[in-house]
Amino acid sequence: MSNSSEEFIPSLYDKMIDNTSYTNSNNKVTRIIVDTHNQNRKKSIHSECILKDSFLGSCNGIINAHSIQNSGILDKLSENNYVLPLDNFTELFNIDIEKLLLGKNEATIFRGFCKKHDEVFRPIEDIEYGYNKELQNYLFAYRAFCKRYIDSKSSYNYYSKRFSDFVDSEKLEGVIEKHADIPIQRKEIREHKKTYTNKRQVKRMEEFNKLLKKNEQLKFIFNTNLEKQRYFKIQTLELEFSAKNILACSSMIDIATDFQGKLFNKNLKYPLFLSVLPVGDTTKVLISYLKTHSTYLERIINVIKNSNVHQQEIILSNILIKNANNIIFNPLEFRKFNEKSIKIIAGGQLRRTQSTNEPLVTLKLNIFRPQ
Ligand SMILES: [Zn+2]
């Protein structure tokens, strides 16, 4: 067997397993995999009103809800109605930002509410931040959670069919065999690889089931406190940076290790809810958590709180790039990043998990000051 095929097939199957980095878009087989991946992703999108059967009565139709306010926030970050989501991070290596731009009406949407129940977000949709902080902080944290809730279910749908639709698909295998421009591995070797891909799949689905269970508990907590108007059950650290119209974010985040790299959140039981919003000439950062989790999170929160503004910007840059999803950049501002900064951003986005003993802040980058 030639070296080239040895190199080719393991990476092919690993890509099928880990599905992230398809950087060589000139390769026909890679393109087939990427297309299949994208089709399966689309088919897997989950739709569900998170407030169905709730105190707010029956639902009407599910809509494409914005997880980041369209008129007030995305407007401020758009260039000719386009914004830059940081989701397709691997492609940032190619630094063709123009291809990654997305119309602001399509950006950050998720199918987590019906038209009627999406109205619950009026106090953060229609009114600028500050008029009723307790309620608004609650709703920002709630919406960050809801996006994660729906995304997790979409990922579950995707992965539960992945092995049969993707790895163990004779049809796809036939297409790949036909189009491979170098000889691919023998059938029996491929079959052997599938058996351990399947083992990983079983393990992954176990993890997913735990995650979905945890999300159900959080949904119950959020919906109950919303109903009883116990907004104080969410605590929020509010920061303000003198950065104008750079980026926005709405994301639930899991941080496992602290500033020294000490593990304090092993099973990711204590989530944070992060909202970054341009307000006037500044950028507001809201870091929220359940009051019942404050004992576990207050040390980290206090370090952030007691840091100077410059340090806070660096800390938040690290958290955003390494731990958050659903980040929207102003394209005009993003183009100001030099190649070195873009490599740091892309590298941080690629590595989505904290390694053991890894301190929270490792990247020398301030994404609030593009350069
Ligand atoms: Zn509904």
Q: Could you identify the residue written with the tokens 């399966």?
A: 40
CA 197 to CA 191: how far, in whole Å?
A: 10
pLDDT of residue 90: 56
pLDDT of residue 18: 42
- At 248 the three-state DSSP class reads strand
Instruction: Calculate the dihedral angle through the C-alpha atoms of 214, 219, 222, 226, rounding to the nearest 10 degrees.
Output: -170
Task: Give distance in angstroms: CA of 54 to centre of ligand 1.
Answer: 8
Q: Which residues contact 125 (CB under 8 A, 6 or more apart)?
A: 69, 71, 72
Task: Give distance in angstroms: CA of 225 to centre of ligand 1.
Answer: 17
Task: Give distance in angstroms: CA of 146 to centre of ligand 1.
Answer: 13
Residues lower than pLDDT 50 in the chain = 1-25
Task: Give distance in angstroms: CA of 124 to centre of ligand 1.
Answer: 18
pLDDT of residue 13: 46
pLDDT of residue 11: 39
Task: List, in sequence order, every beta strand (DSSP E) within the chain.
Answer: 62-66, 82-85, 102-103, 109-114, 234-241, 247-253, 272-279, 282-290, 327-329
Task: Give distance in angstroms: CA of 59 to centre of ligand 1.
Answer: 4
pTM of the model: 0.88
Here the tokens at position 259 are 């500033």
Asked if residue 315 lies in contact with residue 304, where contact means CB atoms within 8 angstroms, the answer is: yes
pLDDT of residue 95: 62
Of the candidates 108, 104, 110, 138, the residue with the CA atom closest to the CA atom of residue 124: 138
pLDDT of residue 207: 86
pLDDT of residue 70: 85
Task: Give distance in angstroms: CA of 214 to centre of ligand 1.
Answer: 21
